[in-house]
Structure 1
Amino acid sequence: MQFKDYYETLGVKPDASDAEIKRAYRKLARKYHPDVSKETGAEEKFKSANEAYEALKDAERRREYDQLRAGGYRAGDEFRPPPSWQGGNGGGGGRFEEEDFSDFFESIFGRGRGRGGAQGRSGPRRGSDLQARITISLASAFSGARERITLRDPVQGERTLEVKIPAGIEPGKQIRLSGQGNPGISGGPAGDLLLEVNVREDGRFKLDGRTITTSVPITPWEAALGATVKVPTLAGEVELRVPAGSSSGSKLRLRGRGWPGKIAGDQIVVLEIQTPRAETDEQKQFYESMATTFDFKPRG
């Protein structure tokens, strides 16, 4: 078994930064992907670049590899792992679900378990999955929408997809887009795109689980006498009865007006009493009359 110099494969120096390693890999992936490149031996070069990047992109695997390389090995040297070698734990215990790598790689990091096992090294192979994020408004997550996302990946370059956002998707959930990952190899199926949905904060509504909270301003006389006021919800305005004698900070519940689902959540309405300023003599006299009319001591 021959030693592989992964830095040499990617064309970077051993002290290259993570960003430099990633850029070098992307450049080679674009150049040699077998469904794109017409060069002789493109598939093997693509696989070599992919294996080198898998070894160096993870800090633990790179540390283990550097330990071996420090022993003076060069590309093509005969190699056997030292008897005391304890590698194979970097980056998740040696499980590499999308690829089958060389014996050299497996002897250092553990045996790969790709789709198709040991026979997966020839013939059609499924493309790897891609991961991306999309940020949408709270209203789009609530009602559902169609959003556009621009992807930039090393194999396919830049492309724009239209994504259907299901109504009631929760922040942090993933949407799987079948066949939108990296192209397959040798005619194999494409991988999938795993799209994580992030939701922007909304100035009017706060989402906590399936409960939506919003604040509604009311006047002192609406709070004192009771009133019917219009309240915004993500599905449109509704009318809410404010009980007489309500205080600022009181919470009222709109059942079923929260986050949609098999059992819809509720919306909590927080009342905020706003007091108008006394700007005229008449208005000031009105407040003075209140002070003498009510025996009210809010500070005990």
Structure 2
Amino acid sequence: MSSKDWLEKDFYAALGVGKSASSDEIKKAYRKLARELHPDRNPGNAEAESRFKAVSEAYSVLSDERKRKEYDEMRSLFGSGAFRRNAQAGEGGPGGAPFDVSDLFGGAAGQPGAGGRFGGGFSDLFGSLFNGGAGPTTRARGPVRGRDVEAEVTLDFADAVGGVTLPLTLRAPGVCDVCHGSGAKPGTSPRTCPTCQGAGVVTRDQGAFSFAEPCRECQGVGTIVEEKCPECRGTGGVTKTRTITVRFPAGVADGQRIRLAGRGEPGARGGPAGDLFVLVKVRSDDLFGRSGDDLTLTVPITFAEAVLGTDLRVPTMDGAVTLRVPPGTPSGRILRARGKGIVRRDGRAGDLLVTLEVVVPEQVSGAAREALETFAAETPKAAREHLEARLRRVS
């Protein structure tokens, strides 16, 4: 992506967030728009597909802390238009064609000339100023890395705890199988652009500077497709449906992102593919909860069991375990079953934390009431003596 793209595109507006938005706000806005504009939900809707690409492009910059900082600095320094010519002015007037900011410094560094290539990014621009005059980097007309792709998968609680392998179906841009990305009709080939001689840019001298801009004849590609591929209509790419197998490791957590290197969008001109990031959502379980690597479970016990103690058999994710409830156990006490939680990557396991909840019945039988009354008469009330003393002072 060139510095000209960064100047002319408002990525914050594309996501509908302010410039001071946090990373979480940017991510939330992207996910919402991506779900609404996804090609699967808008088949045949060219406008939705275009906005989906724009939203993805904006997120790829603003979700990266380094890229976002460079983007903000560039927009702040050069976004006012002071370094761009008025596209409506004539060639001989004070305006001229718009140009890439980095091309301005590239020409000044001794790189002008027809068909020349100039630096394409904000970091390249300042790198060329402080690297001892070595000049800017080459415009990326060679292999270009594909964009990263994000998908969302919802797992059952048990699958997240134990790990699972699932097929994942994706719809994303890919290389056209008919023309293999060239955009040309089978049996034909793109020809070199006669205007820029394949450079993708044209330059013009104006005063002390040499200005460069993308070639209008070939749109900066360097080649012209005369007979377009009937499948992709000359773009070289199509939206594809593909299925890949993803292994979710044991203990994967809700909200975790799993990176699959090289499984994102294919690169351009032979470049490497981007990465696939799978966002994991975990369904809640009707019995178990989770706290880090520990599993949690709430178990009801009777008043008699809390007073007298008991052996309590409770379920685990892979069986059952017996825990000893000591006599005089209060409601809310937590018992620990070691090693019955989530297995860590190093082979160690978390624990199962069992919270005891003393259940008070709403109704009891006559015999049970008599037994409780006898119990109450025999039970000392020393636990409330400090309250009784205060009551006596205020009455």
Q: TM-score range by the shorter chain?
A: 0.5 to 0.7
1:170 shift after superposition: 4.0
TM-score by length of 2: 0.51
Preserved contact between residue 210 and residue 266 of structure 1 (Cα < 8 Å): yes
Structure 2 equivalent of residue 263 of structure 1: 348
The separation in 1 between residues aligned to 2:327 and 2:366, in whole angstroms, is 28
1:66 maps to amino acid: G
The separation in 2 between residues aligned to 1:210 and 1:204, in whole angstroms, is 16
User: Could you list the per-position Cα deviations for residues 98-129 of structure 1 after superposition, in whole angstroms to 9, with x for gaps in the alignment?
Assistant: xxx964654897569xxxx9468344443233
Structure 1 equivalent of residue 157 of structure 2: 138
Indicate how the Cα distance of structure 1 residues 259 and 274 shifts in structure 2: closer, same or farther if over 3 A, else same: same
Instruction: Report 1:1-300 matches (<5 A).
Output: 17-19=13-15, 27=50, 60=72, 62=75, 66-68=79-81, 73-74=86-87, 77=97, 79=99, 103=119, 105-106=121-122, 110=126, 118=137, 121-153=140-172, 156=239, 159-261=242-344, 262-296=347-381, 298-300=383-385
2:153 maps to amino acid: I
1:254 shift after superposition: 0.7
The separation in 2 between residues aligned to 1:29 and 1:279, in whole angstroms, is 63
Q: Which moved more, 1:203-212 or 1:146-155?
A: 146-155
TM-score by length of 1: 0.64
Preserved contact between residue 212 and residue 267 of structure 1 (Cα < 8 Å): yes
Structure 2 equivalent of residue 34 of structure 1: none
In the alignment, structure 2 segments of 5+ residues that lack a partner are 17-32, 38-46, 89-95, 106-116, 129-135, 175-238, 386-395
SS in 1 for 2:372: helix
1:26 shift after superposition: 5.2
SS in 1 for 2:80: helix
In the alignment, structure 1 segments of 5+ residues that lack a partner are 31-49, 86-100
The separation in 2 between residues aligned to 1:67 and 1:280, in whole angstroms, is 83
Indicate how the Cα distance of structure 1 residues 62 and 134 shifts in structure 2: closer, same or farther if over 3 A, else same: farther
Count of matched residue pairs: 252
Preserved contact between residue 250 and residue 342 of structure 2 (Cα < 8 Å): no
SS in 1 for 2:361: coil
Preserved contact between residue 26 and residue 154 of structure 1 (Cα < 8 Å): no
2:359 maps to amino acid: Q
1:73 shift after superposition: 3.2
Indicate how the Cα distance of structure 1 residues 26 and 124 shifts in structure 2: closer, same or farther if over 3 A, else same: same
2:297 maps to amino acid: T
Preserved contact between residue 85 and residue 97 of structure 2 (Cα < 8 Å): no
